[in-house]
């Protein structure tokens, strides 16, 4: 937006030509006029440039969200990037807010830029999107357990299959369902750039460490060595979580039989009832699972105002629920539910068995070690 001012001013003066000197003399006083030169209508709105994790794009560009923000005087322009990538971008000056998928990334940006404010309006547990025939195969293999409407995915049993180098074709009954020699692996994003993959890594390291958060360097090194294969053996991976889930929806199980996603991505589609979730698709909850706390870091006052609105506006909280997110403020959640935003069929289960992520230092160390494994081609 800084850019826009510069452009307009340059243009204006090109037109004015001889009036140049006058404008220069007028100095800063003249600058105050510039905003008033804007035409009426949409342009009364303050444009807020946001760099967000791709999983929130459809929420932030929802016409109802756009109109709630417009009533408050804001127009949001959304660019997407992997949440970890957001922390390494060099062009953040062009934005009013960033909205990564978790607090560690938000903390890092705050630290790097000397900021203090942030908002965590909603969260989402990690979940696994899959297909019923695959879930049945995994149930027979002792990985998936169904309890009423909720199907859970036993992370310990899964990691045992991984350690044993199990291929899909090794599972009883795979011939009729998924006859490939590919390893049994959850599809994920690139752990070097994406938060959902970092959460997957955090979850794996917690489970592989005997349900303990990894706190020591030596343990982290051991866990990273094991986890590197979970990513590298998948080959090329996307940077942001929207992509593998889009491929899950559009390409079916040929691309990947199970995909690590945010619960919100799946619920959003279910609640939209747009036909993209076919009857043979379902969501598995890892046992244990881990939460992503989506966090706004405002970089300007306008960004701050939007961050505040996202946390406090009952309309925006209701719309966030429609897009599959779980609001952080229990009162807001209850009130929104009261308005009937969520229906019983797609109500998410209470999750009690959750893992905590390791410290940012340990998380970075593990990711750096995996990046090294990519560079040396081992793993």
Partner 1 sequence: MTRPRMIRQRASRHRMNQHSMNRQNQNRHNMNRRRPRGALVLLIVLATAAAALGACSGSAGTDPDDPGRGGGTLRILAGSELRDLDGLLDDFRRQTGIQVTLEYTGTLDAVDRITAGTTDADAAWLASDRYLRLALGDAPDRSRTIVDRATTMMSPVVLGVRSDLARRFGWVDNKVVTWADVARKVATGEFTFAMTSPSSSNSGFSALVGVAAALAGTSDALTLDDIHPVALTSFFAGQVLTAGSSGWLTDAFVRSATPIGGMINYESEILALNAGALRDDPLTIIYPRDGVITADYPLQLLHADAAHRGAYDRLVSWLRTPDVQRRIATTTYRRPATPGVRLDPAPWPAPELPAQLPFPATSEIADHLLAAYQDEYRRPSHAIFVLDVSPSMRGERLELLRSTLRELAGTGTSTGRGTGTDDTLEQRFARFRERERVTLITFSGTVHDTLEFTVNDPQPGSADLTAISAAADGLTLGSGTAIYSALEAAYRYVADSAAAPADGVAPLTSIVLMTDGENNQGTTADAFHSSYLALPDAARSVRTFTVVFGDARVDEMRTIADWTGGAMFDARTSSLSEAFREIRGYQ
Q: Which of residues 20-59 bind partner 1 (CB under 8 A)?
A: 20, 23-24, 27-28, 31-32, 34-35, 38, 42-43, 45-49
Contact 97, 307 (CB under 8 A): yes
Answer for which of 216, 274, 361, 372 binds partner 1 (CB under 8 A) is 274
Pick the piece of the chain touching partner 1 (CB under 8 A) from 6-14, 204-212, 322-330, 356-364.
6-14
Work out which of 302, 321, 362, 366 binds partner 1, going by CB under 8 A.
Answer: 302
Q: Applying CB under 8 A, does 367 fall inside the site for partner 1?
A: no
Residues contacting partner 1: total by CB under 8 A: 79
Cβ-based neighbours of 261, under 8 Å, separated by 6 or more: 55, 126, 127, 128, 129, 196, 241, 244, 245, 248
Based on the shown chain and the rule CB under 8 A, indicate whether residue 189 belongs to the binding site for partner 1. Answer: no
269 interacts with partner 1 by CB under 8 A: yes
Among residues 212, 232, 315, 329, which is the contact residue for partner 1, using CB under 8 A? Answer: 232
* Among positions 60, 68, 69, 81, the unique one binding partner 1 when judged by CB under 8 A: 81
Binding of residue 68 to partner 1 (CB under 8 A): no
212, 139 contact by CB (below 8 A): no
Q: Which 150-169 residues touch partner 1, going by CB under 8 A?
A: 167
Examine residue 374 and tell whether it contacts partner 1 (CB under 8 A): yes
340: contact with partner 1 by CB under 8 A: no
Please identify which residue in 29, 147, 176, 181 interacts with partner 1, judged by CB under 8 A: 181
Bridge partners for 286 per DSSP: 153
Going through 216-325 in order, the beta strands assigned E by DSSP cover 258-262, 281-287, 291-298
CA distance 49 to 52: 10
Site for partner 1 in 122-151 (CB under 8 A): none
Pick from 120, 166, 276, 354: which binds partner 1 (CB under 8 A)?
276
Contact residue for partner 1 among 18, 235, 330, 340 (CB under 8 A): 235
Using alpha carbons, select from 266, 247, 264 the residue that is nearest to residue 123. 264
- The token duo for 112 is 């790097």
**Toward partner 1, which CB reaches closer, 50 or 332?**
50
* 221 belongs to the binding site for partner 1 (CB under 8 A): no
Decide: is 246 part of the binding site for partner 1 (CB under 8 A). yes
DSSP one-letter string for 5-53 = HHHHHHHHHHHHGGGHHHHHHHTHHHHTTGGGGS-SGGGGSEEEEEEEE
**Looking at beta carbons only, is 123 or 248 nearer to partner 1?**
248
Among 25, 236, 279, 352, binds partner 1 (CB under 8 A): 236
Under the binding rule (CB under 8 A), the answer on residue 368 touching partner 1 is no
Cα angle at 63 between 248 and 347, to 5 degrees? 55
DSSP 207-240: HHTTS----SHHHHHHHHHHHHHHHHTT-S--SS
Give 48's strand partners. Answer: 76
- Residues 156 and 353 sit within 8 Å (Cβ to Cβ): no
CB of residue 377 to partner 1, shortest distance in Å: 6
């Amino acid at each position: 937006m800084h850019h826009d001012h510069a452009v307009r001013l340059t243009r204006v003066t090109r037109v004015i030509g001889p009036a140049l000197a006058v404008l220069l003399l007028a100095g800063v006083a003249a600058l105050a006029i510039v905003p008033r030169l804007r035409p009426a209508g949409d342009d009364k709105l303050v444009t807020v440039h946001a760099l967000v994790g791709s999983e929130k794009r459809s929420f932030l560009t929802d016409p109802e969200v756009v109109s709630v923000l417009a009533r408050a005087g804001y127009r949001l322009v959304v660019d997407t990037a992997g949440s970890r990538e957001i922390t390494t971008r060099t062009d953040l000056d062009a934005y009013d807010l960033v909205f990564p998928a978790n607090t560690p990334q938000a903390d890092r940006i705050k630290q790097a830029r000397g900021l203090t404010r942030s908002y965590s309006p909603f969260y989402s547990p990690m979940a696994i999107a899959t297909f019923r025939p695959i879930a049945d195969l995994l149930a027979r293999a002792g990985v998936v357990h169904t309890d009423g409407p909720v199907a859970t995915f036993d992370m310990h049993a899964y990691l045992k299959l991984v350690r044993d180098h199990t291929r899909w074709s090794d599972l009883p009954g795979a011939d009729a369902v998924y006859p490939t020699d590919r390893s049994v692996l959850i599809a994920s994003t690139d752990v070097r750039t994406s938060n959902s993959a970092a959460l997957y890594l955090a979850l794996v390291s917690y489970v592989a460490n005997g349900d303990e958060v990894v706190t020591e360097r030596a343990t982290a090194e051991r866990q990273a060595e094991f986890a590197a294969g979970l990513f590298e053996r998948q080959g090329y991976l996307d940077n942001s979580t929207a992509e593998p889930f889009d491929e899950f929806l559009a390409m079916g199980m040929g691309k990947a039989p199970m995909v690590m996603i945010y619960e919100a991505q799946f619920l959003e589609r279910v609640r939209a009832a747009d036909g993209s979730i076919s009857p043979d698709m379902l969501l598995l909850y890892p046992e244990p699972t881990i939460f992503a706390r989506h966090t706004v870091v405002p970089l300007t006052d306008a960004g701050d105002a939007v961050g505040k609105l996202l946390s406090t506006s009952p309309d925006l909280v209701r719309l966030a629920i429609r897009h599959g997110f779980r609001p952080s403020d229990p009162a807001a959640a209850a009130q929104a539910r009261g308005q009937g935003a969520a229906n019983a069929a797609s109500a998410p289960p209470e999750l009690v068995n959750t893992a905590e992520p390791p410290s940012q230092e340990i998380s970075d160390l593990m990711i750096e070690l995996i990046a090294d494994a990519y560079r040396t081609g081992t793993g």
